[in-house]
Structure formats: C-alpha cells, structure tokens
Amino acid sequence: MEVSVDNKALFHLMLLLLSLSFPPSAFGLTCHAGDKQALLGFKARITSDPSGLLNSWNSSTDCCSWGGIGCDSSSRVVNVSRSGLTSGPFGLDTFMKGTLSPSLGNLTFLQLLDLSDLKELTGHIPPEFGKLTRLNYLFLDSNKLTGSIPTTFRNLSQLKELYLGYNQISGTIPSSVFESLRSLTELSLSGNILSGPIPESIDTSSLLTMIYLDGNNLSGPLPSSIGKLKHLTFLSLGENQITGSIPSSFSGLSSLEYCFLGNNKLTGSLPLSIGTLSNTKGLYLQNNRLTGQLPATIGNLVNLTDLLLVRNKLSGAIPGNLLNLTALTYFDVSNNNLSGMIPPHTANIPASAFKNNSGLCGAPLPPC
Ligand SMILES: *[C@@H]1O[C@H](CO)[C@@H](O)[C@H](O)[C@H]1NC(C)=O
Ligand SMILES: *[C@@H]1O[C@H](CO)[C@@H](O)[C@H](O)[C@H]1NC(C)=O
Ligand SMILES: *[C@@H]1O[C@H](CO)[C@@H](O)[C@H](O)[C@H]1NC(C)=O
Ligand SMILES: *[C@@H]1O[C@H](CO)[C@@H](O)[C@H](O)[C@H]1NC(C)=O
Ligand SMILES: *[C@@H]1O[C@H](CO)[C@@H](O)[C@H](O)[C@H]1NC(C)=O
Ligand SMILES: *[C@@H]1O[C@H](CO)[C@@H](O)[C@H](O)[C@H]1NC(C)=O
Ligand SMILES: *[C@@H]1O[C@H](CO)[C@@H](O)[C@H](O)[C@H]1NC(C)=O
Ligand SMILES: *[C@@H]1O[C@H](CO)[C@@H](O)[C@H](O)[C@H]1NC(C)=O
Ligand SMILES: *[C@@H]1O[C@H](CO)[C@@H](O)[C@H](O)[C@H]1NC(C)=O
C-alpha cells in the first residue's frame, strides 16, 4: 500500500512533535562514553575556573549539550572550544587555571580544539594530542604552556591551522612537523622561546599562507626553500637571531604582502630579485646588518606602502625610482650609510627618515 500525501504529512508532524518533546538523548543519541570521559578528564585538571566556564560540564548530562562542545550527527565530539564566553566590561572573560589532560587525545573525532587565551594553562602539550588525526584547527595560543612541540604532531595530517603563540614553549621546531603537515595553511609559534633553525623542510607545507614565528630565539639562516611557498601572504620572523642573507629565492613568494624580518642579524645585500614581489605592501627589515646598495628593482613594488630599513649598513645612493612609489606612506632609511642626493618627489616623507646617514643631501635635507 502506498503512503498517501496526507499520511506522510502526519508522519512528519508526529516526528517533529516527538523531537520537540524529547531531547536527542531520548533516542539514545547521548555523547559517546569515551568522549565524555575524555572531557571530564580535561575538567579534572582545571584547578581554577572562576568564571564558571565549565559549569555545564556535568557528568550526569549529555556532553553534547555542554558549553563549548560540538558533536556530529552520531554524537561524536568534533569541536571543543572555550566554553561559556562572556563579554564583560573588561572584554572576554576566559581565565582558567590548570594543565592539559592527555585524555583529550582520546577525542579521535575532534576537528577543532580551541583552548586559546585561557591565560593560565600551564604544563606541556601532551604527546597524546598526536592521536587527534582528524584535527583541522588547534588553537592553544596565549597561555603559559611550557615544554617542546610534541614530535607526535607529525600525525596531525589534516591540520590546517596551528596556533601555539604567546606561551613559553622551548626547544626547536621539529622538521617532521612541516614534512607531515601538508594541509597546513596558518602557523603561529610567535612569542615563545623556540631556538635553533627554521627547518629547510618548511616548503613541504606548500599551502602555507601565514607564518608567524616572530619573538622567539630562532637562529641560523633563512631556508632558501621558503621561496617555494607560492601562497604565502604573511611572513613574520622579526625579533629572532636569524643570520645570513635574504635568499634570492624570495622572489618565488609571489603572493607575499607583508614581510617582517626586523630585529634579526641578517647580513648581505637585498637581492635584486626582491623587485618581483609585486603584491608586497610592507617590507620591514629594520635593525639588521644589511649592507650594499638598495636595489633599484624596489621601484617595481608599486603597491608598497611601508618600507622600513632603519638601522642597517646600507650604502650608496637611494635609487631614483624608489620614492615615486605613490602608495608609500611609511618610509625610513635613517641610521644607515647612504650618501648622495635624495631623489625628488619626497614631499610626504619627513627629514627624520633620512637622518644619520653618511652623506645624504637635497630636499628635505640641506641642499647638496
Ligand atoms: C548535575 O546535574 C544534576 C541534575 O541536573 C544535578 O542534580 C547535580 O547537582 C549537577 N551536578 C553538579 C556538580 O553541578
Ligand atoms: C565545529 O567548528 C567549526 C569551525 O568553527 C564549525 O564550522 C562547525 O559548525 C562546528 N561544528 C559543530 C558540530 O559544532
Ligand atoms: C583513553 O581511552 C582508553 C580506552 O577507553 C583508556 O584506557 C585510557 O585511559 C584513556 N586515556 C586517557 C589519557 O585518559
Ligand atoms: C602516529 O602514526 C604512526 C603511524 O603513522 C603510529 O605508528 C603512531 O602510533 C602514531 N602516534 C600517535 C601518537 O598516534
Ligand atoms: C637565545 O639563544 C642564544 C644562543 O643562540 C642564547 O645565548 C640565549 O640564552 C638564548 N636566549 C633565550 C631567552 O633562550
Ligand atoms: C596592486 O594592488 C592592486 C589592488 O590591491 C592589485 O589589483 C594589483 O594587481 C597590485 N599590483 C601588482 C603589480 O600586483
Ligand atoms: C619613477 O619615476 C621615474 C622618473 O622620475 C621614472 O623613470 C620611473 O619609471 C618611475 N618608476 C616607477 C616604478 O614608476
Ligand atoms: C660608509 O660607506 C662608505 C662608502 O660609501 C665607506 O667607505 C664607509 O666605510 C662606510 N662606513 C661604514 C660605517 O660602514
Ligand atoms: C647614528 O648612527 C650611529 C652609528 O650607527 C649611532 O651610534 C648613533 O646612535 C646614531 N644616532 C642617532 C641619532 O640615531
């Protein structure tokens, strides 16, 4: 017998009424027991939660209903994020004290883990997090985590965004991380105490668009392989101990918009090939030990708004075609060893931008 249109409508109405009257748990769709245990394991290691962010994490209720938890249609936990965010007069209240429980590694269906900005999470990142092989987003930034980046992270092959910045993470950047994280688009390890070189294997994560490694203690040269990152728009490596010269392979960074290399120990001259970075808007190279002349090819960077070269050892004349870059608003070559006549068209650039060179002259400085 065929079900009539009316019967179908009635059936759907009954389903709707049923689903309104009973929570999903009434149909046995409570969260997976192992997932629940893993989450309670996390809660057990939180020693202070003054804002009650985990108040809804009650063992007698369905964990899919807890604050900050997202489940898929099979009631597996796929998202864990800072729960119960309240926007008070002092901004987001996300304070939480404690350590990261290894039990979170049992959430094998997890796609998003956001425990950033809880400010007082201490201890190391459990190597068990390497079991989260479906993870797309891992945000643990702005805490007080110590220890090193677990080598088990090489198993996180689906990871797209990794934010571990503004902690106290030490050790080196494991090269295996880049060799395995082929889906990675955004990496932030800023504001830690990482040391050692930037791995040459960085180009294996070929989809990277943003790299933030500033404010660490990284040393050694810039890997020339970095030039293969065609999608990279944002490169932030300032405030480290990076040595050597800017590799000519940088010209391969065809999407690069902002490049922060200031406050390092870079030597050598700017590569001529820098002129091919036609999308670049900001180039920050201050406080290094760069020598040689400013390549005239910088004049090709028509979208450049910020060019910061203060406190280097650049010499020779400022190329004439540089200062007719019409978008340039923030320009500083002070404290170098430049000489000769300042090119015309400098109306908007203050004299201080040319201060303390060996022999620059012409407006806005005294005439030659
Ligand atoms: C958990 O929920 C039950 C039932 O809603 C309640 O009786 C109990 O007090 C709660 N436990 C905690 C620790 O909040
Ligand atoms: C999990 O988080 C992602 C990214 O924020 C979001 O798009 C998705 O809707 C969330 N899923 C669930 C079930 O909460
Ligand atoms: C992970 O789950 C297994 C199996 O349920 C359990 O034996 C183990 O103790 C859990 N690991 C942690 C760190 O909680
Ligand atoms: C990582 O993956 C390898 C196999 O690719 C496996 O042997 C190892 O146990 C995994 N480690 C973790 C922490 O899951
Ligand atoms: C940074 O590295 C240098 C050696 O390269 C070392 O002398 C210094 O103590 C390190 N600083 C920190 C804060 O780790
Ligand atoms: C400069 O920027 C504009 C708009 O942002 C863009 O359309 C143009 O392609 C850029 N120029 C070059 C040479 O990339
Ligand atoms: C800058 O202006 C000079 C003439 O002053 C011109 O020859 C040169 O082509 C211009 N360069 C750019 C990049 O516009
Ligand atoms: C400055 O440049 C001149 C050549 O233009 C060179 O003779 C001199 O040694 C340089 N001074 C410094 C401090 O580098
Ligand atoms: C000018 O340069 C010298 C040598 O680099 C430096 O010692 C001095 O502090 C600089 N003066 C100013 C005003 O920046």
Q: Could you tell me the mean pLDDT of each successive run of 10 residues in the chain, 368 residues long?
A: 46 46 52 96 94 89 93 95 60 81 98 93 97 97 97 96 98 91 96 97 96 98 96 98 96 96 97 92 98 93 95 93 83 94 74 90 82
Tell me, what's the pLDDT at 132? 97
| Buried/exposed 344-364: b ≥16 CB within 10 Å, e otherwise | ebbeebeeebbeebeebebee
What is the edge-to-edge ordering of all strands in the sheet holding 241-243? 195-196, 217-221, 241-243
Q: Give the residue extent of every domain in the chain.
A: 5-361
Tell me, what's the pLDDT at 176? 86
Q: Which of 275, 274, 282 is nearest to 330 (CA)?
A: 282
Question: Assign residue 345 a region: left if phi > 0, alpha if psi is -120 to 50, beta otherwise?
Answer: left
Q: What is the DSSP letter of 296?
A: G
Q: Is the CB of 278 under 6 A from ligand 7?
A: no
Tell me, what's the pLDDT at 89? 52
Ligand 7 atom nearest the C-alpha of 300 is 13
Tell me, what's the pLDDT at 84? 52
**Pocket of ligand 5, beta carbon within 6 A:** 193, 195, 217, 219, 241
Other Cβ atoms within 10 Å of 50 Cβ, number: 9
Element (H, E) at 217: strand 217-221
CA 184 to chain centre: 11
Predicted TM-score (pTM) above 0.75: yes
Q: Which ligand is nearest to the CA of 277?
A: 6
Homologous superfamily (CATH) of 5-361 is: Ribonuclease Inhibitor (3.80.10.10)
Q: Is the CB of 326 under 6 A from ligand 6?
A: no
Contact 242, 265 (CB under 8 A): yes
Look up residue 344 and give its amino acid: P
Tell me, what's the pLDDT at 50? 84
Q: Which ligand is nearest to the CA of 313?
A: 8
